[in-house]
């Protein structure tokens, strides 16, 4: 990493790396559960996060940081939605989970 970057860009790059790590974890979690409606929704979230992170990288390279915080919030929200869908898919595969919900 280039230490000559301004402190705010270094912080943004760290946050960007963290979002990339979370994206990888979401991909791996989705792969564990194969297919299904929830997992297709997760794949949509993954696509959204990838697109937003691409925009963040482009804005960082251009030195334009005005909208990056909003883009990172958008990516974090999509990751949260994806994790929620993975949780639902995982829970639906547990034996007897429906009975626990009604009890």
Global pTM value: 0.75
* Closest to 26 in 3D by CA, of 67, 77, 83, 69: 83
pLDDT per residue as tens digits for the range 32-69: 877 777 778 899 999 999 999 999 999 989 988 889 98
d(CA 67, CA 100) in angstroms, rounded, equals 44
């Amino acid at each position: 990493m280039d230490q000559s970057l301004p402190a705010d860009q270094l912080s943004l790059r760290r946050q960007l790396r963290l979002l990339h790590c979370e994206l990888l974890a979401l991909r791996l979690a989705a792969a564990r559960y194969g297919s299904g409606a929830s997992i297709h929704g997760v794949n949509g979230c993954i696509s959204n996060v990838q697109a937003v992170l691409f925009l963040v990288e482009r804005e960082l390279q251009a030195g334009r940081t005005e909208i990056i915080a909003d883009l990172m919030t958008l990516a974090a929200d999509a990751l949260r939605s994806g994790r929620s869908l993975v949780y639902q898919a995982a829970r639906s595969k547990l034996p007897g989970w429906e009975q626990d919900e009604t009890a």
